[in-house]
Every structure is written in C-alpha cells, then in structure tokens.
C-alpha cells in the first residue's frame, strides 16, 4: 500500500480560494509600494552561506536552512570531524549554500553587485518566500512570504516617515486597526551605557526582544545569565516600562540618557520622526515603546513593529534603519531603512476578522451553461466577446445535467450563470441568472457587460 503523502512541518498547500485571498494581500501591498515610488526586484531562493552567516546573530544562524553540496558531500570532511560528529565545524565542508532567511541581506548583496546600474537613493520592493528552521506554531511557519520595501543611499529620516505612512495606508486598505511601535537602537545603546553595560548591547537587545513571549522576569534571568549585574538589571527594568504620551516618554528618556551622546542622538531622531508622523494624521496608533528591540544585529537607528489591535497575533510588520549593512560586502557607508510585511500573518488576521472584499474569491464572473453542441458553439462566441471586454468568463466543457453545472458555479463562487438555448439563439440574447438572488433576465450582450461590471 502506497504511503500517504505529506509535506514538511511548517509549510502549507494553498487552495484556489486561499490563493485568491493571498493575491489580494500581495496586490494591495504592491499597489501601495508602487504608489510611493518603489521598484520591484527578485533574488534567488538560495544564497551562498558566506552571504547569510553572521548577519542575524547566533540565534539567526541556527535557523538557517543549509543546502547539502551536490554529489559526495562528505568528501571534504576531515575524518576527525566525522568521528567526533562536530556538526558546527562540519557545515562549511558539506554545505556552501542556504535558503534565504529574509529579503534584506540578499538585497544588500544585490545592491553591492549592481551598484553601477542603480540610481541612488534606490527604492526597491520584493515579494518572495523566505525560510527559517524555526519551531512551527500558530502564526510562525518555516516557509513564509515577506513583502519588503527598502531605501538605500539616503540618511534622511524622511524615509522613516514615509515608511510609517506606507504601513498606515496598507492596513487602512485592509481595514485592520493597528498599533505601530517605534524605538531607536541608539536609545537602547544609550541605555546600555547608562546601566554600565555598553559591551552587552547585543545580549540586551536579544533578551528584551523576547519580552512579549517570555515576560520581564524571564528576560531579567536571561540578562543575568549573560553577565549583567543585578544592579544593571534593576536599572534597566523601569526604562523598559515608561508610561505616558510619546512626548512624555521622550522627555523622560532625554533626562535619563543625558550622559550618553549616542542615547541623546537616538532621542533626537525619535522626536523628528514621531513629530512629523503626528502632523500627517495617520489612522494607525504610533507608540514609542522602549522595550522594542528587534534582535537583528544590523539595525542601527529607527526600529518598528506593527501589531493588529483586534487579533491575538505576533508582529505583522517590522523594520528599521541599518547604516552599514552593505559594508560586509565591500561597500561601506551606504545607509538604508526598510520594512517587511508578514504576508502569512496578515492572511491569518484578515481570515480571523473576515475582511476580504466579497469578490476576492471569485475568479470567473460568468459561467455559460452547456446545452449541447450548437448551443455551446454560440456560447463560446459570447465567452470570447466578454473576455475581450475584460470580463472573466468560461463555458462548462461538458453537456452535463443542469444541477452539476450549477453546482460547479457555486463551488467556484461564480456570481452569474448565462444560458443560451434555442430561444436565445433565435433572438440573439442571453438569459443571465444572478446566483445570489436567483433573479433571471433576458439581455443583450451589452446589457450583460453593464450588469456584470
């Protein structure tokens, strides 16, 4: 007996209805990207491991899917590594490539390789899948799509303001209420200075990035395990729980970080961004959250995350400023800032809130019933004319029972069924049935076009 087929954990098949919903998400985001002047690129699913390793911190490196070398992939492995099962040092011998972890690092590689062809500042967007060897759970998959927009070659904080406005526009179109949480890595660096642990910035950001998942007490324990003193942990906690308006939080931070030049610079940048965003009158709530860390090592300035207000879900969009990501590829001093929409989590949010437009899952607008050879030939003529006018139409291919053909229309959520029998052929008309109301009308082709459109 053949074994029942399965797919890897953390991956999914998508039905036609699901793909229609996903395409609605992709197309909505793409339309906003284009509205703001971004251009589309694509990069390979596989990158050299030398491109990917070391860009996401130790935690990220562990989540990279490595691709075995072709052929005898063990031939370059020294015998002592094989016998000791030292997989960490064995990886460079057996794997030269990996699946991309995100779209930002491949984008940095792209910029360096194509720098002579690009117009700076370069505004690009990219909608492609990424892979992470993570533990699958609700809202977290091993294969998922990201929808990224980045600007490189500009230090201006206007880029951050535009990205926040773009996020607001996307979720306004989706009808999702969101809160955009904003922080600055320079503020976190200033906090590390003030509590006497400047060398522990990475450990601090990686730990506090987990506050929502494991709680402040467990974060404090992790920080102590990383070498922070109890005094430093005690100083850090109240900074992560600042209360009040954005302006009040900034005033408090300005006082607390007065001895840190880096920290003061971060506060200054936040004042600029948050002040201008407030003047734009966005629909979304924009909130300064000092506990927001985003544990990716390449961020250097503004960082942001988006949460849905009406659904229990993790971050559905994130991003930030990176001042020298291209430097690791031999192109130092190129600043960039970008965001990434988590399409799969947005899909779950829209499903939970049932926010898809009513016509999203309908691909065919008109289905012509097949009454026989002559009628089918006449119907096919109408089908081609409707398609020429931009209306998706199809003819049921078989002369099957009416019940079966109407069932097919219902299964595909076709809003209109057209019937061309002997009477309609004689009068040059079409009988059109509204599948929602059940109403039928005898119409000319032009009238059918007007009704369907």
Residue 104, classed as helix, strand or coil, is: helix
Q: How far apart are CA 87 and CA 105, in angstroms?
A: 25
Q: How far apart are CA 337 and CA 160, in angstroms?
A: 7
Annotated binding site: 102-104, 132, 146, 150, 294, 298-299
306: Cα separation from own chain's centroid: 11
For 265, list phi and psi in degrees, rounded to 5. -65, -40
DSSP assignment letter at 66: E
- Classify residue 172 as exposed, middle or buried by CB count within 10 Å of its CB (0-12, 13-18, 19+): middle
- What is the SS3 string spanning 300-358? CCEEEEEEECCCCCCCCEEEEEECCHHHHHCCCCCCEEEEEEEHHHHHHHHHHHCCCCC
Annotated binding site for L-histidine: 102-104, 132, 146, 150, 294, 298-299
Sheet architecture: strand order including 143-152: 39-40, 122-131, 143-152, 336-342, 317-322, 302-308, 178-184, 285-288
For 76, list phi and psi in degrees, rounded to 5. -95, 0
């Amino acid at each position: 007996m053949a074994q029942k087929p399965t797919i890897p954990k953390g991956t999914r098949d998508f039905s036609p209805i699901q793909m229609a919903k996903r395409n609605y998400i992709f197309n909505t985001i793409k339309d906003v990207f284009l509205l703001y002047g971004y251009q589309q690129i694509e990069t390979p699913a596989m990158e050299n491991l030398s491109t990917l390793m070391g860009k996401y911190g130790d935690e990220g490196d562990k989540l990279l899917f490595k691709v075995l070398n072709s052929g005898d992939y063990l031939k370059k492995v020294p015998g002592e590594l094989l016998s000791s099962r030292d997989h960490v040092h064995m990886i460079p011998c057996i794997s030269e490539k990996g699946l991309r972890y995100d779209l930002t690092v491949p984008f940095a590689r792209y910029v360096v390789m194509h720098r002579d062809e690009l117009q700076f500042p370069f505004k690009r967007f990219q909608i492609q899948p990424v892979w992470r060897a993570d533990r699958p759970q609700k809202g977290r998959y091993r294969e998922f799509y990201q929808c990224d927009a980045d600007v490189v070659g500009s230090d201006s904080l206007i880029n951050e303001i535009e990205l926040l406005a773009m996020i607001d526009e996307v979720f306004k179109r989706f009808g999702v209420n969101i809160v955009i949480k904003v922080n600055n890595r320079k503020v976190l660096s200033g906090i590390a200075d003030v509590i006497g642990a400047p060398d522990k910035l990475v450990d601090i950001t990686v730990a506090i990035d987990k506050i929502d998942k494991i709680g402040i007490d467990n974060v404090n324990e992790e920080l102590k395990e990383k070498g922070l003193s109890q005094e430093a942990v005690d100083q850090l906690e109240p900074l992560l729980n600042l209360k009040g308006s954005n302006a009040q939080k900034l005033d408090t931070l300005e006082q607390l970080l007065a001895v840190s030049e880096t920290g003061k610079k971060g506060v200054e940048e936040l004042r600029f961004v948050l002040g201008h965003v407030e003047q734009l009158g966005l629909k979304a709530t924009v909130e300064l959250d000092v506990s927001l860390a985003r544990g990716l090592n390449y961020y250097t300035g503004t960082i942001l995350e988006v949460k849905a207000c009406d659904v229990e879900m993790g971050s559905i969009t994130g991003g930030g400023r990176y001042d020298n990501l291209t430097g690791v590829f031999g192109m130092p001093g190129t600043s960039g800032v970008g965001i990434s929409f988590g399409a799969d989590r947005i899909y779950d949010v829209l499903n939970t809130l049932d926010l898809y437009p009513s016509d999203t899952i309908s691909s065919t607008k008109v289905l012509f019933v097949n009454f026989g050879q002559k009628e089918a030939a006449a119907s096919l003529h109408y089908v081609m004319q409707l398609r020429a006018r931009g209306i998706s139409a199809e003819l049921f291919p078989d002369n099957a029972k009416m019940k079966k053909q109407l069932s097919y229309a219902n299964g595909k959520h076709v809003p209109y069924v057209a019937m061309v029998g002997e009477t309609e052929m004689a009068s040059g008309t079409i009988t059109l049935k509204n599948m929602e109301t059940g109403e039928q009308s005898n119409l000319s082709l032009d009238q059918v076009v007007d009704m369907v459109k």
